[in-house]
Amino acid sequence: MVKVAKKVGLVQTCESVGCGHPDKFCDGVADAVLTAYLKQDKDAHVACEVCAFNKTVVVGGEFKSTAKVNHLAIAKQYLKKIWPEYYNEFKFLDCTTSQSPEINAKVNLSPENVGAGDQGITIGYACNENKYYLPTAHVLGSLIMKEINASKYKDFYLDTKTLVSIDENNNAQIVLAIAHKKNYNKVKAEDFCTNIISKIIKQNKFNIKKFSISLNMAGDFVIHGSIGDSGLTGRKLAVDTYGSIANHGGGAFSGKDYTKVDRSGAYYARWIAKNIVANNLAEKAEVRLSWEIGNPKPVTVEIDCFNTNKISMEKINEKVSKKFNLTVYKIINVLGLKTIDYTTTTNYCHFIGKHNWEKIIKL
C-alpha cells in the first residue's frame, strides 16, 4: 500500500542563495563584465555567460562594443572577492565572440526605435504582504542570505543556501546550508543565525509568530564553491525574482544588456505590478509581456489581479496604458538602464533595493 505524506499546511516555501553559491558567482562575474562595458560604451550590446567548474572559470557570450574590457581580469578580481580561499587554484578561459549581425540589425532600428533583442515572455509580480511588495518567505530568505554573507562570520564561507517555509499560522521553518571551516562550532553558529533571523523579522515587521532553524543537517559543508559543485549563469531564476510564488517567463537576467527584454522587460513588468498594488488597486498583481525579436513594443500585455482588484480590470488596464510607455526605448530610458551598476542587482533578489523599477508612483 502506498503511504500518503501527512499534510503539514505550508502555504509558502521559497529558496534563496548567497553570493558565494556557484551559480551566483557566475551571475556576479557576468554582471561585472556587463557593467565594465557600459561604463566605457553606453550603447554596448552584451550577452555574457559564465561557467565555473573543476577549478576553471570560462567567460563566454556575444559582444558588440567599442569598449576594451579584459574579461578574465574581471573574473579573477571577482573570484578573489567571493572565494579568496581558492584564488590561486583556478585557471581562466575567454571564449567570447562578437554579436550576430542579424540580431544587431533587428535591435538597432534607429536611436529612438530600439527593437527587442529577443523573443520571449517577461513577468512582473507584486503582493501586499509587506513593505517590499513581495512574498514574505522569499523576502525573508533573501535578507537572511544577505545578512549572513555580510556578517563575515569567522567560521562561514559565502556559499550559502536557505529554504523558508511559512505555514497558515505564520510559523516559519528555516533550513540553512552554510559552507564552513573545519571543526566549526555548530551550536554557536546556530545561535548566530538565530539572532540574525530574529533581527530581520523584527526590523521588517514580518508577520511571523515564531520560527525554528536547522543548520547543515546533511553534515559537513567544507568543500564549497565550484570545487564542490559547478556554477552557471542564469540558473537561479526563482531566487532572482519571486521565489517560485509567481510565474516566470523563462529568461535569465545577469550578463544581459538593456536591449535584452528578458531582463529590461521583466524589470518594467515588476514596476507596473508593484504600482498596481502600491496604489491599492489590487492586493496582488501579475503583469505578463510577450516580445518578438526586433519589435519595439510587446506583442501582448496581460494583467491578472487574481480577483483581488479593488476597481474593475478594465480601469486598471486603462491606468496602466496611460501611465506606462511599453516601448523598449522608453523602458531603457525611464528606468535608467544605461547607467546603473548591474552588480548591485546580482544577489538577494533583483526586486529588493532602491532601483528605479522599485519606485512607487501615483497612478
**HEC per residue, 271-298:** HHHHHHHHCCCECEEEEEEEECCCCCCC
> How much is the average pLDDT of 111-135?
92
Lowest-pLDDT range of 103-112, 216-225, 288-297 = 103-112
Lowest-pLDDT range of 103-107, 133-137, 182-186 = 103-107
Classify 124 as helix, strand or coil.
strand
Sheet holding 300-304, edge to edge: 120-127, 284-291, 300-304
Residue 355 cell numbers, joined? 532601483
> How much is the average pLDDT of 132-137?
98
> How much is the average pLDDT of 249-266?
96
What is the C-alpha separation between 327 and 337, in angstroms, rounded?
14
The pLDDT of residue 349 is above 80: yes
The pLDDT of residue 110 is above 90: no
Cα 173 from chain centroid?
23
pLDDT band (50, 70, 90) for residue 117: confident
The pLDDT of residue 252 is: 96
The pLDDT of residue 1 is above 80: no
Residues 6+ apart with CB under 8 A from 213: 174, 175, 176, 190, 193, 194, 197
Strands 56-64 and 171-180: unpaired
Helix (H) or strand (E) holding 128: none
CB environment 155-166: b (16+ within 10 A), e (fewer): bbbbbbbbbbbb
pLDDT digits (tens, 9 = 90+) for 163-190: 999 999 999 999 999 999 999 999 999 9
pLDDT digits (tens, 9 = 90+) for 54-96: 999 999 999 999 999 999 999 999 999 999 999 999 999 999 9
The residues pairing with 213 across neighbouring beta strands, listed in sequence order, are 174
Q: Where are the beta strands (DSSP E) in 90-142?
A: 91-98, 120-127
| Cell 505555514 -> residue | 167
> How much is the average pLDDT of 14-28?
98
The pLDDT of residue 118 is: 85
What is the C-alpha separation between 9 and 173, in angstroms, rounded?
12
> Between helices 136-151 and 186-204, what is the axis angle to 10°?
130
The pLDDT of residue 7 is: 47
Q: Could you say which DSSP state residue 212 is in?
A: E
The pLDDT of residue 40 is above 80: yes
Classify 292 as helix, strand or coil.
coil
Q: Residue 337 in contact with residue 264, Cβ under 8 Å?
A: yes
The pLDDT of residue 4 is: 41
Question: What is the CB-side half-sphere exposure of residue 288 using CA atoms within 13 A?
Answer: 12
The pLDDT of residue 112 is: 78
The pLDDT of residue 286 is above 70: yes
The candidate with the shortest Cα–Cα distance to 348, out of 272, 258, 243, is 243
The pLDDT of residue 83 is: 96
Residue 82 cell numbers, joined? 567571493
The pLDDT of residue 334 is above 90: yes
pTM of the model: 0.94
Helix (H) or strand (E) holding 236: none
Taking all residues of the chain, what is their mean pLDDT, rounded to a whole number?
A: 94
Residue 17 cell numbers, joined? 542563495
